[in-house]
Amino acid sequence: MTSAGAGAQRLKRVIRDVPDFPKRGIVFKDITTLLRDPSCFSESIERLSVGWRATGARRSGGVDVVVAVEARGFIFGSAVAQRLGVGFVPVRKPGKLPWRTHRQSYQLEYGTDALEIHRDAIRRGQRVLIVDDVLATGGTIGATVRLVRRLGGRIVAAAFLIELAFLGGRRRLQRQRCPIYSVIQY
């Protein structure tokens, strides 16, 4: 599912393209231009939040907690959690969380990386919305999906401000039975 309309197009126009960053041949989608505009930032949070409600509201799409991956995912995930009135759970690189954790490795283009989550961050059966700024290849979010499920969380969806559709992350996450929502697609 993707968001359409004039609002999404306005957000798309505000995002700056930075050629050859972080390396030659890549066009980086710089969201700092969106973050510094309070109207655009607010609209992006609203669009990431729409359709999801706290489970106490007893509506479909209800969530108990929002999970996000460092670092830019924290910006959007914590704001969405606050908007929905639910808790926020950070997923971080190894060694950054102070309590006992579960670790999940995942494949990068050249090598591997890993993410961690506190072992007590999600209770069995809690409904989880994963939020991040960009869906690219899906490796990071795929690892996050595995961590959430390892704790017994039920994933409602993964929501992204930007989806780089040409990189195939949606297909990868759909193979993990993770519904995808993106505000903007490139």
Could you list the active site residues? 72, 109
The CA distances from residue 186 to 8, 88, 165, 183, in Å, are: 12, 28, 6, 10
- The burial class, CB within 10 Å (0-12 / 13-18 / 19+), for 36 is exposed
Please report the sign of the dihedral spanned by the C-alpha atoms of residue 41, residue 44, residue 50, residue 54: negative
Query: What is the C-alpha to C-alpha distance for residues 88 and 72, in angstroms, rounded to an integer?
Result: 14
Contact (CB, 8 A) for 86 and 117: no
The CA distances from residue 22 to 7, 25, 132, in Å, are: 29, 9, 19
H/E segment holding residue 29: strand 27-30
Query: What is the C-alpha to C-alpha distance for residues 148 and 152, in angstroms, rounded to an integer?
Result: 7
